[in-house]
Structure 1
């Protein structure tokens, strides 16, 4: 068994505890046991799990992993979208140009970090679809009085095909994700529906994570994921540099 601690008890942290207490039967998630949670607040037990300090968590031999469920600015969030259906579509086409626009509703800017990092799931999604990318330009528009921000990043594929990634946020805007991938033979303007999994996304993520720490994922797969994560973080950092240099 691998012991785990949950850092942050908002909605995500509460669900992480729930899923570790009731893992999907027969899945690698059964190898995880929640040993406690960490919070800035002094709280009662959560679902029967007690609060512990950071010092205790790092010193205990029965704790091997941590689930970070705090605000975005306290960690660079890495998420992987389920791309199987869409990758099949994209892999058959030659890209000419594309745009990815994400609009979020009701998000306060403080605490969520720079858009290239807080939205890194979308960047990872583009790398999964089109391979390694480079950044050619990036801008950031902000209106703090209106709580508005818009990041526009110009990207290039390895064969110099252009991609545009936009993260736009303002309280009151409708939540939406819009794409416009123009290929030489067609245009893809909607994300194909993915089949519904047997368990929810949080449990799927828990199962994938458990498989990795219990050596059920090949070293080559882990290395490939490590390289992809580092590549996306480097891209996000370059985007931030370009935006802040203006």
Structure 2
């Protein structure tokens, strides 16, 4: 794919949070994909709760400095899930575009309010979803296309959740988004949460329905030492898919793909219909997560 970048102005950016994702965001802005809109993003600093030395030659700045500087136009939020909402609001109110890791917020209503704020100020609000960019998901989507679902299960396993990552329906929203991308809008019919804190164990089970009332079960099971894996069983009218298709690694990294997409939004190169579609998908998934949490806690 070729991108036209010569007419685009430079966008200065700040990275909030220097974990793995924040470090990669800085690296990708320092070495953008040639010829892509990402070449017009320049990292101006990073924000961290800790006092740190320069990271990859980039210096640490405060939130106050970042929101006040005229040469900073965008913020990348790469912190614990529970702090996303406050950072997004802070930067939007300061007139900065925002790219935030999923989930954008820990409630549907808060996300609606933030999107309204972005729209009011004419800003880009982008929720990163790198799990939709993986080659294995792209292969799975191709394998599912055109088939009529009868019933299905997506069972995720992984290590115990760390503090600050929120309720499992939100921390695991990438898998919920997989199901929405594969089978369209869903509704929640039931949900339960089993927990054994002493063992670092939790198991969320959500019963979902497609628009034509086909049942889907989503399970998020976590425990200290449990290997990270996604297991599927999708039964169609013509076949059953019990494994995610194998796919070679993509030529462009997942975070770089997302950076290019965010940069294209800043440059006005993404159609209004695509922007609206992404917004509707993100809000739908957050609304589902909200309902799942309510059912588990009622």
- What TM-score do you get using the length of structure 1 for normalisation? 0.95
Partner of 1:16: 25
The residue number in structure 1 matching 2:189 is 136
Is the 8 Å Cα contact of residues 15 and 45 (structure 2) preserved in structure 1?
yes
The aligned residue for residue 68 of structure 1 is: 77
SS in 2 for 1:240: helix
Q: Give how far 1:230 is off.
A: 0.6
User: For 2:199, what is the secondary structure of its paired residue?
Assistant: coil
Name 2:64's counterpart in structure 1. 55
> Over the residues paired in the alignment, what is the CA RMSD in angstroms?
1.3
1:98 pairs with 2:152: yes
Cα distance in 2, alignment partners of residues 208 and 224 from structure 1: 14
Shift of 1:110: 2.0
Q: Which runs of 5+ in 2 are unaligned?
A: 1-9, 85-101, 104-126
Q: Distance in 2 between matches of 1:99 and 1:74?
A: 31
1:86 and 1:174 mapped to 2: Cα distance?
21
Write the distance in 2 (CA, Å) between the matches of 1:194 and 1:231.
28
Task: Return 5+ residue gaps in structure 1 as ranges.
Answer: none
Higher-RCO chain (CA-CA 8 Å, sequence separation at least 6) = 1
| More deviation, 108-117/211-220 | 108-117
Structure having the higher helix fraction is 2
Q: CA deviation at 1:127?
A: 0.6
**For residue 148 of structure 1, what is the aligned residue in structure 2?**
201
Q: Give SS of 1:145's match.
A: helix
Q: Is the 8 A contact 1:152 1:167 kept in 2?
A: yes
Whole-angstrom CA distance in 2 between matches of 1:177 and 1:213 = 34
Instruction: Indicate which of 138, 146, 157 corresponds to 1:84.
Output: 138
Alignment match, 2:54: 45
Tell me, yes or no, if the aligned pair for 1:73 and 1:118 is still in contact at 8 Å. no
Whether 1:176 and 2:185 are equivalent positions in the alignment is no
CA distance in 2, matches of 1:12, 1:238: 29
TM-score by length of 2: 0.79
Contact map agreement 1:100 1:164 (CA 8 A) in 2: yes
- Paired with 2:161 and 2:177, the residues of 1 have a C-alpha distance of 23
Per-residue deviation, 1:2: 1.0
Deviation of 1:195 (Å): 4.2
- Residue 113 of structure 2 corresponds to none
Distance 1:237 1:108 in 2: 18
What is the total number of aligned residue pairs between the two structures? 244
Match of 1:213 among 243, 250, 266: 266
